[in-house]
Structure 1
Amino acid sequence: MRVMAFDYGTKRIGIAVTDPLQMIANGLDTIHPKDIIEYLKKYLQREQVERFVVGDPKQMDGTPSQSAPHVKGFVTLLKKSFPDMPIEMLDERFTSKMASAAILQSGVNKTTRQNKALVDTVSATILLQSWLERKAFL
């Protein structure tokens, strides 16, 4: 079964998913928060997902960031909508910067690099790949 990760933002949610063997994280989509539950219901009809991983926004000193209450609300919505789905929080510090650097190194043009939806999807992918790497060491 797959694992799905979310990089939550009030304008966009970046989504990534593993392959069924949970070896590789792939960017899936970027969805507006108001559309996420309907999107997930449709996706879960087609694919088996074992758990959700949600980026936990923290400041450099480890305290919750300004967006933490929004993420907490998102997690509450996920729990209400999918009560049987395990949800893990994972520190997401640096994922946006890592995503921007990865996009820059890929050699795409400036317009593509400035696409915030792409940054969100790549951020979710980095978050999920971090989860996979952490899981491998447990």
Structure 2
Amino acid sequence: MTEIVFGFDFGLKRIGIAMGNTLTGHAQPLSVIHAADNASRFKAIEDLIREWQPTRLVVGEPRHPDGAEHEMTMRCRRFANQLNGRFNLPVTLVDERYSSAVIQARRGEVIDAQAAAIILQQYFDDHAHS
């Protein structure tokens, strides 16, 4: 059965969202959320979840190049836990160190959704043979 999966590139100012499905294993940018407060952020996410009905959520987990955690690592884990608690969907954290390098030189909304697509594509690639 084909399942829809969402990928998230969490940031303090914006959250990039991508979607893909388990049949094709291909991720594509979907949206960028610009909400300043948690209630508005999660309302926008809820609307997308209601529309697309994903069965799994994937969140990029940033780390330093040597693998050490930093402030955003913990914030992303907290965001992942909130997604799981609010929407009762399984959430997988994906190391985004290498995907971040692809987009590090650029900034802006389109880039946030593309970053989410790279994170989700990494999840699909890692789970293609499992």
The TM-score normalised by the length of structure 1 is 0.80
Partner of 2:116: 124
State how far apart, in whole Å, the 1-side matches of 2:11 and 2:93 are. 15
Residue 9 to residue 26, structure 1, CA distance change in 2 (3 Å) = same
Q: 2:66 aligns with which of 55, 58, 61?
A: 61
Q: 2:42 aligns with which of 21, 37, 43?
A: 37
Q: How far off its partner does 1:16 sit? A: 0.4
5+ residue gaps in structure 1?
Answer: 102-113
Measured against aligned partners, the alpha-carbon deviations of 1:37-73 in whole angstroms (never above 9, x if no partner) come to: 1112212222221100000111111111221122122
Higher-Rg member (1/2): 1
Q: How far off its partner does 1:137 sit? A: 2.6
The question of 1:136 aligning with 2:128 is answered yes
Indicate conservation of the 8 Å contact 1:16/1:25, yes or no: yes
Please report the RMSD computed on the Cα atoms of aligned residues, expressed in angstroms: 1.9
Q: 1:96 aligns with which of 79, 84, 100?
A: 100
Aligned residues with identical type, % of pairs: 30
Indicate conservation of the 8 Å contact 2:80/2:93, yes or no: no
Residue 79 to residue 19, structure 1, CA distance change in 2 (3 Å) = closer
- State the SS of the aligned residue for 1:16: strand
5+ residue gaps in structure 2?
Answer: none
Alignment of 1:100-115 (within 5 A): 115=107
State how far apart, in whole Å, the 2-side matches of 1:6 and 1:30 are. 9
State which drifts further: 63-72 or 23-32.
Answer: 63-72
- State the SS of the aligned residue for 1:137: coil
State how far apart, in whole Å, the 1-side matches of 2:50 and 2:22 are. 15
State how far apart, in whole Å, the 2-side matches of 1:130 and 1:75 are. 17
Q: 2:57 aligns with which of 52, 69, 76?
A: 52
Indicate conservation of the 8 Å contact 1:96/1:119, yes or no: no
- State the SS of the aligned residue for 1:67: helix
Letter in 2 for 1:25: A
State how far apart, in whole Å, the 2-side matches of 1:41 and 1:77 are. 12
The TM-score normalised by the length of structure 2 is 0.84
